[in-house]
Amino acid sequence: MLGSVVSLLAVMLTGFFLFRILPGDPVRTMTQGRAVTVEQLAELRRQFGLDKPLPQQFLDYCLGLLRFDLGTSFQYRAPVAELIAERLWPTVLLVGTGTVIAAMLGLWLGTRAAWRRGSVTDRLSTGVALTLWSVPTFWLGLILIVVFAGGLGGVLPHLFPTGGMASPGVTGFLPGVLDVAHHMVLPVTTMVAVVYAQYLLIMRSSLLDEMGGDYLVTARAKGLRDALVLRRHAVPNALLPTVTLIFLNLGGVVAGAILVEAVFSWPGLGMLFYEALRVPDLPLVQGLFIFFSASVIFMNLLADLVYPLLDPRVRT
Amino acid sequence: MNYLEVQDLTVSYRTAAGELPAVRGVDLAVAPGSKVGIAGESGCGKSTVALALLRLLPASARMGGRILLDGEDVLTMRWGRLRAVRWAGASIVFQGAMHSLNAVHRIGDQIAEPILLHENATPAAAARRAGELLEQVGLPARRAAAYPHELSGGQRQRVMIAMALACGPRLIVADEPTTALDVMIQAQILRLIDQLVGEHGISMLMISHDLSVLADTCDRLAVMYAGRVVEEGPADQVFRSARHPYGAALGAAFPTIGDPASRRSPRGLPGDPPDPAAMPAGCAFGPRCPVAEPRCAETDPVLWPAGPDRAAACVRVLSDEQARGAGVPAGGAAPAEQVAAHPEKEGRTP
Amino acid sequence: MSAVEPPPAAAGGTGAGSEPPPGAGGPGPRALARQRRRRAAAAFWRAYAANPAGVAGLAGLLLFILVALSAPLFVDTADLSVTRAPGSPYQPPSAEYPLGTDNFGRSVLDLVVWGSRVSLTVGFLATLVSVALGALIGVVAGHFGGWTGTVLMRVTDWFLVLPTLVLAIALATVLDRSVFTVILAIGITAWPTTARLVRAQTLAVEARPYIERARALGGGHWHIMGRHVLPNVMPLVLAQTTLMVASSIIAESTLAFLGLGDPTTISWGGILQDARNAGAVSSGVWWYLLPPGLAIALVALAFTLCGRALEGVLNPRLRERR
């Protein structure tokens, strides 16, 4: 709990340092490559409060954060917090679906691989996982678009839309849901493909750690079938370290979301981040940096709360 | 008829270095209601024997010989039959109860698990039975809701015993049931086992490195060394006046409880048990034997009658008995390559 | 992670048992040490060669490095110029252009071969930065313990939790677009894993008796860390490094793809960004998109396989698992 608060403070500090101090002149960075007059620059500095002394800037920044005021976007001329709130739900939908599927797939395949260690299944699924793990997320997304949305330049039918979250002109609840689901197939596949591998590898190695456990000999001595020994005794124990690591690796999921959204033009936070980078819209990048970091810290806090439910040893 | 009869059991492990023998021809018999002990240092193969009884060894182990449980050979059983026999026909109290209980399940559920599996009981009936079993081992029934980490070492061992009794088996194998406990608790647990086994008329095979514990509890004793039984007989006789030098060393050792050094090697006996990959020629105990003779490096002795109802695998015993002219088969001294056969089957039955 | 036995390669040179056995007329101590090192290396190689995936990874790795080094021999940099491209735009693969041409008419094969130079260089240098940083922080945290150690580990944990790519992107955004920025951004964000590993190893090594001896003989902090701890920690760090090069190369391509790389150099991520901006995705010009991504994936896979094999050799407990 205290650790999370300290981490959040550190995120705030980093945010300030990264975007106000490191660039030297943030306004210069934002307007690079454009023709701007000295007066315009001064006006922008005044607008973003950059003309004040640094301690004053820092105080304003901290007070703003306390009121969830993340500043004003340079590009949209709108409050950053508002933009984030607007784009939050598409990301939650995409990341949530992707993570749940990836976790289930990874845990299931990891369990199977560990239980039959050294078998063809094990080698195959570990090999595929390692390969997908080595593939850059964005490239996999591009290839999926070329093959399944673009139909390889006309060779294949156009099975899925190339991007976005909904088609124009679709009305009604059920058609709307189906349309969004249709748009989600490729982005979710990309996310799952890249993320599930690490769950598989973690589950596999933590189950292999449990395999030598004496309590499994007890379970087998009781006359349980192998499948029950695995499901009822080995897996619940192996899940403990796995869950911790899954939460620890959420930062990776956030990164995956940014790339997937950028590639599939999914109108979420990742896409917003990508657009902000290209300007670069520093207040927006800073706001998203703080938001992403804070949500990962929050998820870790959540993991600390979930963990006791799984492990009775921590509960007491 | 013996409830458990082990005949010429061999176990070897396949490893990268080739096949390593862990058990090299062991014969054992446990009559209904009797208590038999197996003693020996760590690595002598006694725990391997315990696990082999219910075919619980890892896949890399290869077993030979016969293990007759109530007349049925465990080694050739079908999987379904084997699962039915496990725990219901013979159950095991494992060493180190901390790791033998599952940390994430309540102990009541763990005790009820085999009842549900083997007896078609309803969950409520199984839970009730688990509570009764806990009271039998001296724990309040409400402790069924506890997790293993909430109990002390002695309490966990009691839970293991309650679990072993769950399906009313006719044989309990106790594999170092008191090793991790301190002296007072050790005595309590031993008394508890003794009492429960007696009450239910259960046969018991107890395995320990501590000869004095076994002598207290068991009717008969077998001493194992390097994968073989080297001495066998009535418990107090083996304990007090062992005929095999290794049995004598074990008996004289009175290891300090809780001191790992004395567990690994009995006092007054230098060296380590032989590496299974490089067994010495002749008697496996020869290199460490305080009374070894030149012929010990040439002769691999087998179990030989060593007095009434006793047997020992030592050339000195053989020559003593020969000198006395008692029951020596034609052929004289044991041939070097003779494998432990079954000398005097009836002599080994309690 | 539990304590790990010192790997054979590191056992020579340091430690209590390094004095040569007395023997008149035998080879000198230097020669003996060399001999022992050679034997340790041979044993190491035998253990490594027992892992076919690791050998395949190593072979792939050497091939890629060879291609990157010899690229100037068969790629003419003039052909990589946008204005003087040799072919016509978007030609599918042919005998003349085995991987087709891009939107300017440049050979995609030439681009990918040339791009390997920047991608590999950045991957190696970024890893070097992060491993050096991580090893330094890990050894110091493990050696000094107490307040210093606690604070350093808290900082490490904090960095470990942060979404690495987001931080790297933020850094790359505010700094100038250059290869140096990319190296720095990846290096600064990727060190915490190494720091944790090195700290755990340091604690394990410092518990050994000969460290006590060195301390009793008056060895200072830096002497103990430099002469005794680091050499014993290095082998596992090497395995970690190999794994990290894979993720650094992926991170480099990601940053380049997001437009944060150096626009004046050719790297695999940069090629993919160019391809996307030129509309290769919607027009289905697969030969422009496929090769750079495959190259990234293969190099990353090769490094990962090598790293896992190394880890397996150095940490017997892991070998059991893999």
ipTM of the complex: 0.83
User: Across chain A, which distance is largest between two alpha carbons, in Å?
Assistant: 84
Domain spans of chain C, in order of start = 69-320
Report residue A305 as tokens. 């709360």
Supply the pLDDT for residue C202: 84
Domain residues for B35? Answer: 4-229
Chain A residues touching B150 at Cβ < 8 A: 316
Closest CA in chain A for residue C282: A150
- Chain A: closest CA distance from residue B99 (Å): 5
Of C154, C258, C297, the CB nearest to A135: C297
Q: A142 and C269: CB-CB below 8 Å?
A: no
Q: A220 and B56: CB-CB below 8 Å?
A: yes
Distance CA C271, CA C253 (A): 9
State the first-to-last Cα distance of chain B, in angstroms, to the nearest integer: 11
Chain A residues touching B113 at Cβ < 8 A: 219, 222, 224
Burial class (CB in 10 A: 0-12, 13-18, 19+), A287: buried
Chain C residues touching A7 at Cβ < 8 A: 158, 161
Supply the pLDDT for residue B97: 60
Chain A residues touching C263 at Cβ < 8 A: none
Chains contacting A with at least 3 CB pairs below 8 Å? B, C
Which residues of B235-350 form beta strands (DSSP E)?
Answer: 304-305, 311-312
CATH of the domain at B8: 3.40.50.300
C154, C94 contact by CB (below 8 A) = no
Does residue B100 lie in a domain region?
yes
More confident residue, B165 or C9: B165
Indicate which of A32, A124, A138 best probes the interface with C, i.e. most C CBs within 10 Å of its own CB.
A138
Does residue B296 lie in a domain region?
no
All residue ranges of chain A with pLDDT < 70 are 1, 21, 23-25, 32-34, 151-156, 315-316
Contact status of A208 with chain B (Cβ, < 8 Å): no
pLDDT at C125 over 90: yes
Number of domains into which chain B is organized: 1
Burial class (CB in 10 A: 0-12, 13-18, 19+), A290: buried
- Give yes or no for a cis peptide into A280 (omega within 30° of 0): yes
Distance CA A131, CA B215 (A): 60
B210, B181 contact by CB (below 8 A) = no
Looking at the DSSP bridge assignments, the partners of residue B7 are B66
Does residue B41 lie in a domain region?
yes
Supply the pLDDT for residue B337: 37
Chains contacting B with at least 3 CB pairs below 8 Å? A
Report residue B311 as tokens. 């047997």
More confident residue, C230 or A206: A206
Q: Give residue for tokens 């031993």.
A: B190
Of A219, A223, A312, the CB nearest to B104: A312
Of B85, B88, B94, the CB nearest to A218: B94
In terms of DSSP bridges, do strands B171-175 and B35-39 run parallel, antiparallel, or are they unpaired?
unpaired
Helix ranges restricted to H, B177-332: 183-200, 211-217, 235-240, 245-253, 260-264, 315-324
Closest CA in chain A for residue C246: A134
Looking at the DSSP bridge assignments, the partners of residue B174 are B93, B206
Domains of chain A: 2-66 (no CATH), 89-268 (1.10.3720.10)
Does residue B220 lie in a domain region?
yes
Helix ranges restricted to H, B120-255: 123-136, 153-165, 183-200, 211-217, 235-240, 245-253
Number of Cβ within a 10 Å radius of residue A23: 18
pLDDT at C147 over 70: yes
Report residue B148 as tokens. 């293993």
More confident residue, C40 or C128: C128
Supply the pLDDT for residue B345: 37
Q: Which of C50-54, C266-270, C313-317 has the lowest mean pLDDT?
A: C313-317
Of C170, C257, C284, the CB nearest to A152: C284
- Chain A: closest CA distance from residue C236 (Å): 18
Chains contacting C with at least 3 CB pairs below 8 Å? A
Q: A215 and B100: CB-CB below 8 Å?
A: yes
Closest by alpha carbon to C312, among C32, C76, C51, C8? C51
- Chain C: closest CA distance from residue A152 (Å): 5
Length of chain C: 322
Number of Cβ within a 10 Å radius of residue B275: 11
Does residue B26 lie in a domain region?
yes
Q: Which CATH architecture has domain C69-320?
A: Orthogonal Bundle (1.10)
A308, A11 contact by CB (below 8 A) = no
Query: What phi and psi, each to the nearest 5 degrees, are found at residue C107?
Result: -70, 125
The residue type of B204 is M
In terms of DSSP bridges, do strands B35-39 and B61-69 run parallel, antiparallel, or are they unpaired?
unpaired
- Chain C: closest CA distance from residue A115 (Å): 11
The per-residue pLDDT string of chain B (350 residues; one tens digit each, 9 = 90 and over) reads 788 889 999 999 888 778 888 888 889 888 888 889 998 888 788 888 988 988 888 888 889 999 988 888 888 889 888 888 898 888 998 876 668 888 888 999 999 998 998 888 899 999 999 999 998 888 898 899 988 888 888 888 889 888 988 888 889 998 888 877 787 888 888 888 888 888 888 899 999 888 888 888 888 999 888 888 888 888 888 888 788 888 888 777 654 445 555 455 445 577 777 887 778 888 888 888 877 788 888 888 888 887 788 888 888 777 776 666 554 444 344 433 333 334 443 333 33
